[in-house]
């Protein structure tokens, strides 16, 4: 059953690291200026809000408490687990304040649009290594090991692993064309409905809108991108958040394919 929503903003792949992270400051400004200022707005986080969090218990790791506390205070936030934020819906009880945790695809109905929102790490089934890791991370064995290590040691270990895998530069996160091909195939296989159906994914770090009905959210880490869906507007719009403007530039409002902005225009 799809959740009925009004104006909705969807982000993914922020990979926030804590209070000293400039992207975290930018995201908090986004919350204040684009979400909190509109009491009827819904925020959806399509996974990987933080760089690493394997939830062992209901305690929020210190680096993320500021952001989680702010999200809890908002009326409607959906946080879909990614491959960098695992076990939240299980360990934190599904809901804290206005913040809901999900470990599956979120169905949203907004005006004429039916959105299926997921992180997207399930899409490339031919990547057996990643699919195996995904299964292991969600297993009882992993939960038992994490409980044995404790939340703090699990967090430090996860942060070391993610730091070793990526330097944080744009070149280190080159989007996979195989993943995009698989995502477009999944969108094409969705059953047609009476309304306009869209598959909305993060994870792949692609940014754009493809004719099969696929919207890729890009990532906040490099593009500060988000999807805006408003029942009062004719189409959803991919936008790029700018801290010095009240009106964010539109990157795509239809199936244009890749919509990544010129790197020189990103600040």
pLDDT of residue 35: 96
Nearest CA to 261 out of 202, 215, 218 is that of: 218
pLDDT of residue 54: 84
> Is-above-0.95 flag for pTM?
no
pLDDT of residue 90: 86
User: Residue 127: left if φ>0, alpha if ψ -120 to 50, beta else—which one?
Assistant: beta
The predicted-structure confidence for 143-200, as pLDDT tens digits, reads as follows 666 666 666 777 766 666 666 555 444 444 578 899 999 999 999 998 776 668 999 9
- The matching CATH number, chosen from 3.40.50.720, 3.60.21.10, 3.90.650.10, 3.40.50.2020, for 3-265 is 3.60.21.10
Query: Which ranges of the chain have pLDDT less than 70?
Result: 1, 125-151, 156-173, 193-195, 264-267
DSSP state of 8: E
pLDDT of residue 3: 84
pLDDT of residue 126: 65
pLDDT of residue 123: 86
Sequence spans of domains, the chain:
3-265
Max Cα distance, the chain (Å): 52
Inter-residue contact 5 to 110 (CB < 8 Å): yes
Helix/strand/coil (H, E, C) string of 48-107?
Answer: CCECCEECCCCCCCHHHHHHHHHHHCCCCEEEECCCCEECHHHHCCCEECCEEEECCCEE
User: What do you get for the CA distance between the two ends of the chain, in Å?
Assistant: 40
């Amino acid at each position: 059953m799809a959740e009925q929503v009004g104006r909705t903003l969807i982000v993914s792949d922020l990979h926030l690291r804590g209070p000293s992270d400039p992207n975290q400051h930018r995201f908090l400004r986004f919350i204040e200026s684009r979400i909190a200022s509109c009491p009827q707005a819904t925020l959806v986080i399509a996974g990987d809000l933080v760089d690493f969090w394997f939830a062992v218990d209901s305690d929020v790791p210190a680096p993320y408490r500021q952001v989680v506390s702010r999200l809890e205070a908002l009326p409607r936030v959906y946080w879909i687990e990614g491959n960098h934020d695992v076990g939240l819906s299980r360990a934190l009880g599904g809901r804290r304040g206005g913040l809901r945790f999900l470990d599956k695809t979120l169905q949203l109905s907004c005006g004429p649009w039916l959105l299926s929102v997921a992180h997207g790490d399930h899409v490339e089934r031919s990547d057996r290594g990643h699919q195996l890791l995904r299964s292991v991370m969600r297993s009882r064995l992993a939960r038992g090991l994490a409980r044995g290590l404790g939340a703090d040691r699990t967090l430090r270990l996860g942060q070391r692993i993610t730091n070793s895998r990526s330097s944080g530069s744009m070149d280190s996160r080159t989007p996979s064309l195989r993943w995009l091909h698989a995502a477009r195939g999944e969108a094409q296989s969705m059953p047609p409905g009476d309304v306009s159906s869209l598959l909305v994914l993060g994870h792949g770090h692609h940014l754009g809108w493809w004719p099969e009905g696929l919207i890729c959210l890009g990532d906040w880490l490099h593009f500060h991108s988000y999807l805006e869906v408003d029942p009062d507007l004719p189409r959803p719009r991919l936008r790029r958040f700018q801290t010095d403007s009240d009106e964010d530039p539109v990157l795509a409002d239809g199936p244009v394919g890749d919509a990544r902005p010129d790197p020189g225009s990103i600040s």
